[in-house]
Homo-oligomer: A and B are copies of this chain.
Amino acid sequence: MYRSKTCGELRSTNSGEIVTLAGWVQRTRKMGGMTFVDIRDRYGVTQLVFNQESNSELCERANKLGREFVIQATGMVAERSSKNANLDTGDIEILVSELTVLNESVTPPFTIEDNTDGGDDIRMKYRYLDLRRNAVRSNMMLRHQIAFETRRFLDQQNFLEVETPILIGSTPEGARDFVVPSRMNLGQFYALPQSPQLFKQLLMVSGFDRYFQIAKCFRDEDLRADRQPEFTQIDCEMSFVEQEDVLQIFEGLIRHLFNYIKGIEFDGAFPRMTYADAMKFYGSDKPDIRFDMKFVELKEVVSGKDFAVFDSANYVGGICAPGCATYTRKQIDELTEFVKRPQIGAKGLVYIKVENDGSFKSSIDKFYNQDELKTIAALFNAQPGDLILILAGDTAKTQKALNELRLEMGNRLGLRDKNVFKPLWVVDFPLFEWDEDTQRYYAMHHPFTSPKLEDLSFLDTDPGKVRANAYDMVVNGVELGGGSIRIHDSKLQNRMFELLGFTPEKAEAQFGFLMSAFKYGAPPHGGLAFGLDRLVSLFAGLDSIRDCIAFPKNNSGRDVMIDAPSAIDASQLEELHLTLIPPATN
């Protein structure tokens, strides 16, 4: 071992001990006849001292140390005269008697500091240097801890971690698969799993009873901040359970993680909200309930006053932003621009200010008199000083836009504190969603999701009305995970495939092995999966999941550090019996 102690553990009680440390040079500074070198490792920073007078040769060598040199230093622990309270080891320093340079370093392209001078691109290219920074490394340590505690909790609950294969078959349903040509089975391809869904259901058929896996999953989708081509799920499945059992166990897991890792205890059970209510009051299936500002539907009360915008709209709804009646013309204009952005797509924004004297000032003064505005304001329980913001149009689009506006107001009012956590179960999702383009139903969750027994009768008459035993856990507006009770009855499963437009042949080709398995005694089962990347991001207060992944890819799916993907040898392609089609040049 090149060291007897780490750079984070020495305290004044160690004074007088001879120790050897090894690590990186964080910085060096000369003061009078002394040279001070901060040596850093994963565990902390310790101050080394060299004295020009007592050992000039050694001190000269210390003076030549560059940033990020790897060194080994032996010396005596001494209590500092001026202690540094910002540093765990700030009470001591090492009076160095031996110094070895284990490796030199050229000057790094950015500073290894909490507030580095490096931009995103350069830090991605030199990710191995970025990972030296405390801020980045601590995210990885948190990730380790969350994964470890998740395993510990689930092991104690009798869950078995089972590794399911990475080289599986392609299933055209769902997102796009990454495929892997097989050399031993020419012309055929493996696919990388989008999730271990089918395998975990097979494990339930196998009687594994309680399964989990912290599993790598893959989707060849266009990327954005919270998507990576490979991502990690805490994937779980249980047998002989109903929805309530699954919610209880996994609420327990999340509670344990918050408590053990962040010291946060939640009072009482996590609140639950139906999908219908989530859409009605928040316009989102993942509402951020750190703040209230619920939607109020106004269609009825505002109709018939000759205001064409409202009269022609399917939906009119608004939110009440407390204390924002003081918003200037400019601020209102900003909000109007915000909702009119193409990603949000509202046509305009109506406001009603509740003035301090109880009167109303509004962009629709012409159509609604003070009494009428008062009636509207009462629906919001608006107080003097509040600002009511109203959108109108097609129901789904307008609710979505109003959700964005609500979140924006939450941000502006500082109501979305990253250190406040508000978990929520969203339940009773619809089983299907209708797609206008293809004029067919799609499974909202996946084709194995069980309908609610009490809604079974709608399967034939009005499939859109059938609710599923499906649930999502949402924290602070982030969908941490979700799952469902699965269909364990072959007949019901076949009916589902039919409704989803699978011919029996197509269902057999894609899910035949699961359908076969279900003939041999499938138990009632259900489960869920959490996104580990999102969970870590949430705990760390990160804006992008990239920051909690050791070696992430950029928005083009490239790892710019190792420069992958890349061209491969012609012989490799030949062995796989593949040729590349050159891209069209005109």
- Chain A residues with CB under 8 Å of chain B are 1-3, 22-24, 40-43, 68-70, 72, 102-106, 108, 126-129, 131-132, 137, 140-141, 143-144, 147-148, 151-152, 155, 160-170, 172, 176-192, 198-199, 202-203, 205-210, 216, 218, 220, 222, 229-230, 232, 240-242, 245, 488-489, 513, 517, 519-524, 549-551, 553, 556-559, 561-569, 572, 575-583
Contacts and interface: CB of A to CB of B under 8 A. Distances in A.
Contacts of A187: 567, 580, 583
Nearest to A69: B521
B129 A245 contact: no
A64 to B, nearest CB: 15
Contacts of A70: 521-523
A137 B105 contact: no
A23 B187 CA distance: 42
Contact of A583 (B162, B179, B186, B578): B186
Given A140-B160, A230-B166, A565-B189, A129 B559 contact: no
12 contacts: A42-B207, A43-B209, A103-B489, A140-B160, A148-B161, A162-B550, A166-B192, A184-B222, A185-B565, A188-B566, A191-B568, A579-B581
Given A162-B140, A524-B102, A577-B581, A128 B556 contact: no
A529 B349 CA distance: 61
Contacts of A558: 185
B178 A167 contact: yes
Q: Which of A178, A182, A189, A561 has the most CB of B within 10 A?
A: A189
Nearest to A556: B184
Question: How many identical subunits does the complex contain?
Answer: 2
B557 A184 contact: yes
Contact of A566 (B42, B176, B189): B189
Contacts of A167: 178, 218, 229-230, 553, 557, 559, 564-565
B180 A3 contact: no
B1 A563 contact: no
A565 B141 contact: no
Given A103-B488, A103-B523, A203-B550, A568 B179 contact: yes
Given A2-B242, A24-B207, A148-B151, 20 more contacts: A1-B240, A24-B523, A43-B209, A102-B524, A126-B520, A129-B520, A131-B203, A132-B206, A167-B218, A169-B563, A170-B572, A172-B569, A176-B183, A180-B192, A184-B220, A185-B565, A186-B583, A216-B216, A577-B582, A577-B583
Contact of A188 (B68, B190, B565): B565
A431 B240 CA distance: 56
A488 B24 CA distance: 14
A160 B139 CA distance: 12
Given A1-B241, A185-B565, A208-B137, A162 B144 contact: yes
Given A40-B207, A206-B129, A207-B42, A564 B168 contact: yes
Contacts of A165: 230, 551, 553, 559
A166 B105 CA distance: 30
Contacts of A575: 176
B103 A521 contact: yes
A581 B578 contact: yes
In the complex, the 7 A-B pairs of residues with the closest C-beta atoms, listed nearest first:
A169-B564, A105-B521, A131-B206, A188-B565, A2-B240, A182-B565, A42-B209
Contacts of A521: 24, 68-70, 103-105
B105 A520 contact: yes
Contacts of A162: 140, 143-144, 550
Contacts of A164: 550-551
Contacts of A489: 103
A531 to B, nearest CB: 13
Contacts of A141: 160
B128 A22 contact: no
Contacts of A550: 162-164, 199, 203
A177 B573 CA distance: 11
A161 B179 contact: no
B148 A155 contact: yes
Contacts of A519: 105-106
Q: Which of A70, A105, A199, A232 has the most CB of B within 10 A?
A: A70
Nearest to A22: B240
